[in-house]
Structure 1
Amino acid sequence: MLLREALDRPRLRLTVLSGADDLDRPVSRVYVTDLPDPRRYLSGGEIVLTGLMWRRGAGDADRFVAACAAAGVAAIGAGDAAYGSVPEDLVAACRRHGVPLFEVPVEVSFRDIIDQVNPTMWAQRATGLATVLGRYRGLVTAMAGGARLVDLLKPVAADLGAECWVLTSTGRIVAGTGPIAPESRRALATSFLAAGRLPAVVDLAGRRAWLVGVPGRPEHRLAAWMLAYAVDPAAPDTAGSDVAAELVSLVALERAHADEAGRVERRLADQLGRALAAGASSVDLRAALLSGGLAPQSTLLVVAVRLTGLTTPPELAVAVAEEVVRSAGVSAMVTGDALPDAVLGVLGVAPTRLAEVTDAIRAAVAGLTPGLGAGRLAVGISGPAADVGALPGAVEQAGHALVTALAGAGPATVVSAGDLGSHLLLLSGVPAEARRAFRDRVLGPVLAYDRAHDADLVGTLDEFLNCAGSWSRAAARLHLHVNTLRYRIGRVEQLTGRDLSRFPDRVDFYLAMRLPH
């Protein structure tokens, strides 16, 4: 109901004293009060009826009207019983704060107004509810008949006067009413994952936007979709919840369809995973790839993912891995059956897009960081496999890169085969205990000496090796005299019993300082 309709009651003889040009405000209810500051009892859109019992002196009217304006009331109705007419200071205050004011004659009770306005308001709400339910039933029927969210979202959002987008936890677009900038998508995803509670209200390029979660399976925010919608800035605060009531159910239907399709895709991907784990022939691997929609002759990229530290169902790791690889925008199969304690993704990638896909995976993993909490996400990426025959080798590469990523710091780490030197890629598959033992045996005495004397012999040794044993070049880069450098390297040799003029000893030192540990 609009304020104009509420006041247009000939029997009530209500007279508008200010705000005659602002009568198209929506009315939520009629509220009677004589409190000097009724804000705690107001939620916006009310017609506030008052007998002016709060008015004691100068300034009281301004304080009362300011409180009502701050609460977003539709109008104030002042009774004549106390003063015989509406005081001029109240009229002036309503004009200052932009609140419509009307006079209630002494012979008209507030109960008369409530009895006149409420039945019409309830009737309109019932009609609106019937419209909503009818539309919702129509949408359910349409989706059951094969319509998708991308087809229905625009007309429904336009009807509600909203712009909206359905995004995944990485900011990937599922559907939307229009384009949205990549930086806005990333900001929305970060706000969604970091929000203490949902729904949340955020700033979207200067507009007020709501974020609502749409859970799927498994039920975790990392695997959920979000509905982000922005209404007209002039709309009342209640408009956001009105939009959500219509849109969330619609998005939930699409999510249910997506989850069902995902279960089918996972069954096909698990066939590939079991074939890889069993060392199947290229013929069997080719058949498994084809069943999942990947061309065996295409360039393949393997991604190994491990999610730890979250007390959640194991399928969350699969859901997170699926989201990470899908963010790259290429065809992929994701399985938890190929590697122990890890999820494997096999992607079909055009050779010209390898760097782009790797960057997209890195960005997706970084974007999930706010939602990890105490958990940790590690990802290893293989080099390209030219065909299905090279796929098992790519799986091994991804596994080795994952071991290195797990050894890294921070809540989320991505390591690709290209990040590792050939020797490090080889050593990443060595058990962690063996790596630590080798490092301690080679560098242990030097590390202990540095801790005791703050000598930085390890730093000196590292620069000397980086300069391929050139005394003059290493001394210049360290800003040392050559004799000082010779003394320090000699001290390293004394502590370790090794000879840095010998190539094998140099290799041992080099590997000890650079291998994953």
Structure 2
Amino acid sequence: MLLREALDRPRLRLTLLVGADELERPVSRVYVTDLPDPRRYLSGGELVLTGLMWRREPADSEAFVAACAAAEVAAIGAGDAAFGSVPEDLVEACRRHHMPLFEVPVEISFREVIDEVTPSLWARRFTGLATVLGRHRGLVAAIAAGARLADLLQPVAADLGVDCWVLAPTGRLVAATAALPAGAPADLATAFLAAGRLPARVTVDGRRLEMVGVPGRPAHRLASWLLAYAARDRTHASAGTRDRTAPPSGARDRTAPPALPDAAAELTSLIAMERAQVDEAARIERRLADQLGAALAGRGGPADVRGRLLACGLAPDATFLAVATSLTGLSTPSELAVAVCDEIVRPAGEPAAVTGDAIPDAVLAVLAVAPERAAAVLDTIRTSVAVLSCGLGTGRLAVGVSAPVTGAEALTGAVAEARHALRTALARPDRATVVCAGELASHLLLLAGVPADTRRAFRDRLLSPLIEYDRAHHADLLQTLDAFLASAGSWSRCAALLHVHVNTLRYRIGRIEQLTGRDLSRFEDRVDFFLALRLPSNGDLPFGR
């Protein structure tokens, strides 16, 4: 029912005071209140009837109308019983907020207004329900015949009078009825993951959108799609494009319900059917990917890896990236980690196989990429992880990416590089981290594959005598050793760097050699000291510090 129809009731003798150009607003229900701020009880589209008991002074009108405008009610109906007529301050407040206002004569009770309007509202709803059921049957039949969400979303949204967007939790666009501004998909995904509760509202390019989740498998927000939708109106010809004929600031075109709960239910049902098909296809694909993971884990030869790549739709002679992902601190970690890893690499748009059967306590994705696309794919992975970090809560997400390699024979080495990069990412304190093997110096990459207790023992064996001596004698032997190596063994450069005489430096180096049993004229001993100096006392690698 539109506001025009609700007011056009001769028996009620309602008089419109403000909002002659807002009569196409839809009405959802009639609500009676004398609260000064009724927002918590409003969902949008109401005819708010009030006896003005909340008004003590003119300023109260501004507060009441502002609250109703924020809740997006259809109109305010003011009774004459309290003041004999509608106060002028209420009229002015409604005019400022572009809020329709009508007068209810003193001889007409609010009960009469409810009894007159409500039956028409229910009749419209029953008619709408029959339409919804018929449309739902048609959608089920269409999907069974092979139609997909991209084919069905546009006509269904048009019938419902909405624009809508379906996105993955990384901001990847699944389907849409209109374009979004640049950056808006990632912003929507971030808002979706960070929302305390759903449904939620978010503003994009000045347009307020409703957001709901469409769960998948597993049932976690990090693995869900999001539906964002808004009523189609004259303010936006398409998403992100402002119509030059838009009403003045503060005004809204209200030709469709603001909350649209029925539209959300219908759209969610349609999207859930698509999501079920996608999840089933992914389950089958992961069976093949797990066979590839087993081959890469050493449970098969080179020929087996090539065959498994082909089964996954990946050319054995392609250029590959290996992506290792660890997700900890959340429920259903293994199943969720596979879904998250899949979503991290999917926005890149490259053929991929995702398996949890290749690396202990991690998930592996193998991507076939064009060599010139490798850097862009890495950037996309970083962007995806940054968005997903908003939904981690107490969890941690670490990702290691190999350098590009060519051919199935090199893929095992790429997986090892991705594992080393993953260990580096896990050593960093950030909640979500991406490390590429190309970022690591060669010696750090080697050390990443060494257990932490072994690294700690190596450091202590070489440096503990110097640390203890410095503690007892304040001799700065550790600093001297670091400066000597940084100076490539040059006595004069090192002495100048430390601001000491060369003879003092020679004495300190001799003491270092005596305490450690090493010879700093030997290249091998210099390398050992160089590595030991770059390991903290706990054996962790200093990546990212």
Tell me if both proteins adopt one fold, taking TM over 0.5 as the criterion.
yes
SS in structure 1 at match of 2:338: helix
User: In 1, distance between residues paired with 2:417 and 2:59?
Assistant: 77
Aligned to 2:244: none
1:374 aligns with one of 386, 394, 401: 394
**Residues 397-445 of structure 1: CA deviation (Å, up to 9, x unaligned):** 3333333333333223333332333343333322222111101112234
Aligned to 1:403: 423
Q: In the alignment, is residue 357 of structure 1 matched against residue 377 of structure 2?
A: yes
Aligned to 2:331: 311
Q: Which moved more, 1:246-255 or 1:31-40?
A: 31-40
Deviation of residue 115 (structure 1)? Answer: 2.1
1:294 aligns with one of 275, 293, 314: 314
Change (3 A) 1:408 1:487: farther
Aligned to 1:329: 349
The one-letter code sitting in structure 2 at the alignment partner of 1:251 is: I
- Tell whether the 8 Å contact from 2:334 to 2:356 is kept in structure 1 after alignment: no
Deviation of residue 270 (structure 1)? Answer: 1.3
Deviation of residue 42 (structure 1)? Answer: 4.2
**Residues 256-297 of structure 1: CA deviation (Å, up to 9, x unaligned):** 111000011011111112223344222222211111101111
Alpha-carbon RMSD across the aligned residues, in angstroms, is: 3.4
The one-letter code sitting in structure 2 at the alignment partner of 1:354 is: A
Q: Counterparts of 1:12-411 in structure 2 under 5 Å?
A: 12-33=12-33, 41-51=41-51, 68-69=68-69, 71-79=71-79, 91=91, 94-95=94-95, 98-181=98-181, 183-231=183-231, 234-235=253-254, 238-239=258-259, 241-411=261-431
User: In 1, distance between residues paired with 2:284 and 2:13?
Assistant: 68
The one-letter code sitting in structure 2 at the alignment partner of 1:282 is: P
User: In 2, distance between residues paired with 1:158 and 1:454?
Assistant: 79
Q: Which moved more, 1:120-129 or 1:277-286?
A: 277-286
Q: Which moved more, 1:113-122 or 1:410-419?
A: 410-419
Change (3 A) 1:76 1:351: closer
Aligned to 2:241: none
Aligned residues: 516
Deviation of residue 380 (structure 1)? Answer: 2.7
Change (3 A) 1:92 1:239: closer
TM-score (ref. length: structure 2): 0.83
User: In 1, distance between residues paired with 2:102 and 2:333?
Assistant: 60
SS in structure 2 at match of 1:338: coil
Q: Which moved more, 1:288-297 or 1:206-215?
A: 206-215
Question: Could you list the runs of 5+ residues in structure 2 that have no partner in the other structure?
Answer: 234-251
Aligned to 2:437: 417
- Tell whether the 8 Å contact from 2:480 to 2:498 is kept in structure 1 after alignment: no
Q: Counterparts of 1:480-491 in structure 2 under 5 Å?
A: 480=499, 483=502
Deviation of residue 351 (structure 1)? Answer: 2.0
User: In 2, distance between residues paired with 1:33 and 1:226?
Assistant: 35
User: In 2, distance between residues paired with 1:83 and 1:427?
Assistant: 83
Change (3 A) 1:61 1:440: closer
The one-letter code sitting in structure 2 at the alignment partner of 1:442 is: L
- Tell whether the 8 Å contact from 1:471 to 1:482 is kept in structure 2 after alignment: no
**Residues 422-479 of structure 1: CA deviation (Å, up to 9, x unaligned):** 3433333222221111011122344556778998765654454244223455566x57
Change (3 A) 1:62 1:209: closer
User: In 1, distance between residues paired with 2:51 and 2:2?
Assistant: 23
The one-letter code sitting in structure 2 at the alignment partner of 1:111 is: R
User: In 1, distance between residues paired with 2:360 and 2:130?
Assistant: 54
User: In 1, distance between residues paired with 2:282 and 2:49?
Assistant: 56
Q: Counterparts of 1:468-507 in structure 2 under 5 Å?
A: 468-473=488-493, 480=499, 483=502, 492-493=512-513, 496-507=516-527
Aligned to 2:464: 444
Change (3 A) 1:452 1:249: farther
Deviation of residue 331 (structure 1)? Answer: 0.9
User: In 1, distance between residues paired with 2:187 and 2:472?
Assistant: 47
SS in structure 2 at match of 1:339: coil
SS in structure 2 at match of 1:383: coil
**Residues 281-323 of structure 1: CA deviation (Å, up to 9, x unaligned):** 2222221111110111112222222222333242122212222
SS in structure 2 at match of 1:409: coil
Question: Could you list the runs of 5+ residues in structure 1 that have no partner in the other structure?
Answer: none
SS in structure 2 at match of 1:511: helix
**Residues 353-386 of structure 1: CA deviation (Å, up to 9, x unaligned):** 2222233333333332222233223333333332
User: In 1, distance between residues paired with 2:422 and 2:120?
Assistant: 66
TM-score (ref. length: structure 1): 0.87
The one-letter code sitting in structure 2 at the alignment partner of 1:263 is: R
SS in structure 1 at match of 2:189: helix
Deviation of residue 41 (structure 1)? Answer: 4.5
User: In 2, distance between residues paired with 1:98 and 1:356?
Assistant: 48
Deviation of residue 230 (structure 1)? Answer: 4.2
Deviation of residue 394 (structure 1)? Answer: 2.6
SS in structure 2 at match of 1:469: coil
User: In 1, distance between residues paired with 2:3 and 2:447?
Assistant: 76
Aligned identity (percent) is 69
